[in-house]
Amino acid sequence: MGNVIGIGAAPKRKEDQRFLTGRGNYVSDIKRPGMAAGVFVRSPHGHAVLRLARYPAAGASRTPRVFR
């Protein structure tokens, strides 16, 4: 198998070294100054009509750290 080229070949992957040594960079590994965390709130009802969207509790919305 060693000298197979193309289909059937098992070449060494270039990305493996960093994954094997803990140096991959996954989305959750990225840190930026002032970074916010995203939260999805989904409707618990199928085919519901959205009449009024109330954003997080009044207290939370007054906090400058909560974006919406």
Per CB under 8 A, residues contacting other proteins are 10, 12-13, 15-26, 28-29, 31
Least separation, in Å, of the C-beta of 45 and other proteins?
Answer: 28
Q: Residue 18 or residue 60: which is nearer to other proteins going by CB?
A: 18
Q: Tokens in use for 35?
A: 């970074």
Q: Residue 24 or residue 56: which is nearer to other proteins going by CB?
A: 24
φ/ψ bin of 34: left (φ > 0), alpha (ψ from -120 to 50), beta (otherwise):
left
Residue 56 · residue 66 · CB < 8 Å: yes
Which DSSP helix (H) or strand (E) runs through 16? Answer: helix 16-20
Q: Residue 20 or residue 48: which is nearer to other proteins going by CB?
A: 20
